[in-house]
Chain A
Amino acid sequence: MDNTKEPIMQARNVTVDFRLPSRMLRAVDDVSLDVQRGEILGVVGESGSGKSTLASAMLNVVSVPGRISAGQVLFKGQNVLTFSEEDLRDFRWREVAMVFQAAQNSLNPVLKIREQFLDTASAHGNRPKDQVLSKARELLRYVRLEPDQVLDSYPHQLSGGMKQRTIMALSLLLDPEILILDEPTTALDVITQAYVMNIMRKAHDDLGITMVFLTHDVCIMAKIADRIAVMYAGQMVELGSVDDIFYRPFHAYTRGLINAAPSLTDDVRLRRAIPGSPPDLTDLPAGCRFAPRCRIYAEGGCPGDEKGELMEVERGHYTACYQWKKVGR
């Protein structure tokens, strides 16, 4: 993989399977991804893409009935998947922190926010209380919350936006090197969403944290991402700089995604939906998984029988589409 910057975390050929009562579901299929130190990486995928499962795999928190059946996850050269419980505890939250989807619900409703900060800190090592609290205050101020008001509140006393910002502050408590955020703004209003994304950008610029955003909405990545990875049906189908992805996509799905997103300034007549429905992960075609919905395939421009492997077609720009040249803008 490209190494213009040094990769801090790498997923190599990760495959995650789920065993269901009557069949097997491959949520992540042979995915390799490098996260470069200091970048903001956006992983874009809709339902069934496998992005959340991939993130869970990178933290080794894939829950039963899922199993990581192949691959490695390297953090600073060491394979996370072989870590002991103790190593994992050190690793999680201190090196890599994750903010889950609808994170607002991950706050304990019966504890004050102050307690939750203290709990988190003590779960990952011993630190003196006042040190933790002063750090918490600093972080809360950073996300433009009133520290005293928030620390003394219970989660239900805070609004959705406030909870989300509190979680962000919590995730930064132990100075992680990487922050993974899974749909951090889905439940938020537009103005709060823009604000939260700004804070994330600011945290990145000030603290040099590497960030990985998982989202189904490619639009919100346009402003702050450095690189974007696109996933479909468990595979990584395109990876490139944000400009590459938006201005010169090399995969029909990426192009379809961007074409299907209405914005405030475009010509509405140019918008096109992607035909068909999301992939059924238990019943995938043998060849290209996007073929049933692909315009190029429908026009006869591609046989659609090759599964597709990620290949570097331009510097730093990878695609799994063999007809990448035909994916015009």
Chain B
Amino acid sequence: MPPLLELDHLEMVFRGGGGLLRRGARRVGAVAGVSLQLEQGEILAVVGESGCGKTTVGKMITGLYKPTGGRILYKGADIHTLKGEAFATYRKGVQMVHQDSYAALNPARTIFQSLGDPILHYRLARNPGQARERLAELLTLVGLAPPQQFLDKYPHQLSGGQRQRLLLARALSLHPDLIVADEPVSMVDVSLRISLLDLMGEMNRRFNIAFIYITHDLATARYIASHGRIAVMYPGKVVETGNLSQVMATPRHPYLQALLAAVPIPDPRVARHMRELPLKSLEMPDPANPPPGCRFHPRCPFAETVCEHDEPPLRASDGHLVACHLAERIPRWEWAPQS
């Protein structure tokens, strides 16, 4: 039984710039060789800062971008070779929840129109009346009750949290196997984030829908994928991946350790004593001109000569995969401060 989704050495190179002054088209390697697997009903958190390519990976998985290298296999088949019926199945099976709920809903159409169209298009309801019923069920499922109150409104009349639930409802309406959620809660108030994440978790358990949760926020990633897996990305590549609780307990890549040190902790006594991982520079590498060898080496406090020349492969270490030459030799990450 092939995995639900497989990314095989995925690459995405954008051609930017060029133009009249002929400085040559810049090749921007947003994704430079990402391989991942996802099983049915699994939750995978893809974590990284902005510019690491995680959003690009999400857009490739949903078919918005065509990869310039590598393949995306949905249920064993390369999505870019699918046609007709098989392609329609893929389209229904993989859905996306966007970050900005206001931009992801058509401002000139009511909720009923926006959410009803896909249902009618795929004949999941045969007429508008049936569509209304289906939507009422769906809205109740995501916690928007009474549904009638929402169906005839325009997006701007609803709050951010409500709109985000609508995006989830829309993604669920086609009975997908996989939902790619790109920073779904970062534009929502902090007090509401957990309820949205709980909702997604519930959808995952009830309907066995796999989730790819893309975020820069490690805390929410840990919350939603506590029983799932994590992949940490650094421009264009995956630098550490594995079972989330395992990876968080023993982070081996210096970048992940730096991230963990930087996440704010809502406990003053602990927070005041958290040690910092001093990085040599704050700047992310330019994707058009990545540093040779390990991409992280200019910032890494542990970098040695080998790091400047050879790109580290993803290899097993401590029960999960890490892309670092020195993974075994760098100090272990201490959670509890010495207080």
Interface membership of chain A positions 194-234, coded 1 if the CB is closer than 8 angstroms to chain B and 0 otherwise: 11001000000000000000001111101100000000000
- Given A189-B49, A191-B282, A277-B162, are A262 and B264 neighbors across the interface (CB < 8 Å)? no
- Given A222-B267, A243-B268, A264-B248, are A190 and B189 neighbors across the interface (CB < 8 Å)? no
Q: Give chain A interface residues in 170-205, CB to chain B under 8 Å.
A: 189-195, 198
Judge whether B282 and A195 touch: CB under 8 Å: yes
Kindly state whether residue A151 has any CB partner on chain B within 8 Å.
Answer: no
Q: Give the residue name and chain of the A residue nearest to B274 (CB).
A: A223
Kindly state whether residue A310 has any CB partner on chain B within 8 Å.
Answer: no
Instruction: Name the A residues within 8 Å of B50 (CB-CB).
Output: 160, 189
Kindly state whether residue A263 has any CB partner on chain B within 8 Å.
Answer: yes
Kindly state whether residue B195 has any CB partner on chain A within 8 Å.
Answer: yes
Instruction: Name the B residues within 8 Å of A189 (CB-CB).
Output: 49-50, 216, 284
Q: Give the residue name and chain of the A residue nearest to B277 (CB).
A: A191
Kindly state whether residue A126 has any CB partner on chain B within 8 Å.
Answer: no
Minimum C-beta distance from A292 to chain B (A): 13
Kindly state whether residue A33 has any CB partner on chain B within 8 Å.
Answer: no
Kindly state whether residue A144 has any CB partner on chain B within 8 Å.
Answer: yes
- Given A223-B268, A264-B222, are A273 and B198 neighbors across the interface (CB < 8 Å)? yes
Query: Which of A3-11, A129-137, A253-261, A296-304 faces chain B?
Result: A253-261
Kindly state whether residue B146 has any CB partner on chain A within 8 Å.
Answer: no
Interface membership of chain A positions 125-160, coded 1 if the CB is closer than 8 angstroms to chain B and 0 otherwise: 000000000000000000010000000000000011
Interface membership of chain B positions 146-160, coded 1 if the CB is closer than 8 angstroms to chain A and 0 otherwise: 000000000000011
Q: Give the residue name and chain of the A residue nearest to B273 (CB).
A: A223
Judge whether B162 and A263 touch: CB under 8 Å: no
- Given A191-B282, A219-B265, are A273 and B193 neighbors across the interface (CB < 8 Å)? yes
Judge whether B194 and A273 touch: CB under 8 Å: yes
User: Complex Cα distance A263/B219, Å?
Assistant: 5
Kindly state whether residue A278 has any CB partner on chain B within 8 Å.
Answer: yes
Instruction: Name the B residues within 8 Å of A274 (CB-CB).
Output: 191-192
Instruction: Name the B residues within 8 Å of A46 (CB-CB).
Output: 189-191
User: Complex Cα distance A247/B271, Å?
Assistant: 13
Judge whether A217 and B222 touch: CB under 8 Å: no
User: Complex Cα distance A306/B217, Å?
Assistant: 38
Kindly state whether residue B161 has any CB partner on chain A within 8 Å.
Answer: yes
User: Complex Cα distance A105/B298, Å?
Assistant: 29
Minimum C-beta distance from A197 to chain B (A): 8
Query: Which of B70-78, B100-108, B254-262 faces chain A?
Result: B254-262
Instruction: Name the prevailing secondary structure of the B interface residues.
Output: helix
Instruction: Name the A residues within 8 Å of B123 (CB-CB).
Output: none
Question: Looking at the complex, which one of A159, A216, A278 makes contact with B159 (CB distance below 8 Å)?
Answer: A278
Kindly state whether residue A76 has any CB partner on chain B within 8 Å.
Answer: no
Kindly state whether residue A161 has any CB partner on chain B within 8 Å.
Answer: yes
Quick one: which of B260, B282, B283 has the most chain A CB within 10 A?
B282
Instruction: Name the A residues within 8 Å of B282 (CB-CB).
Output: 144, 161, 191-192, 195
Judge whether A265 and B226 touch: CB under 8 Å: no
Q: Give chain A interface residues in 28-51, CB to chain B under 8 Å.
A: 46-47
User: Complex Cα distance A242/B267, Å?
Assistant: 9
Kindly state whether residue A250 has any CB partner on chain B within 8 Å.
Answer: no
Kindly state whether residue B122 has any CB partner on chain A within 8 Å.
Answer: no
Kindly state whether residue B328 has any CB partner on chain A within 8 Å.
Answer: no
Minimum C-beta distance from B139 to chain A (A): 15
Instruction: Name the A residues within 8 Å of B219 (CB-CB).
Output: 219, 261-264
Q: Which residues of B contact A (CB under 8 A)?
A: 49-50, 159-162, 189-195, 197-198, 216-220, 222-223, 226, 248, 258-272, 274, 276, 279, 282-284, 335
What are 27 inter-chain pairs, A to B, with CB distance below 8 A? Answer: A46-B189, A160-B50, A189-B49, A190-B216, A193-B262, A195-B262, A198-B276, A216-B190, A219-B266, A220-B264, A222-B267, A222-B268, A222-B271, A223-B274, A246-B266, A246-B268, A258-B266, A261-B190, A262-B223, A263-B263, A264-B263, A264-B265, A265-B265, A271-B194, A273-B194, A277-B161, A278-B161
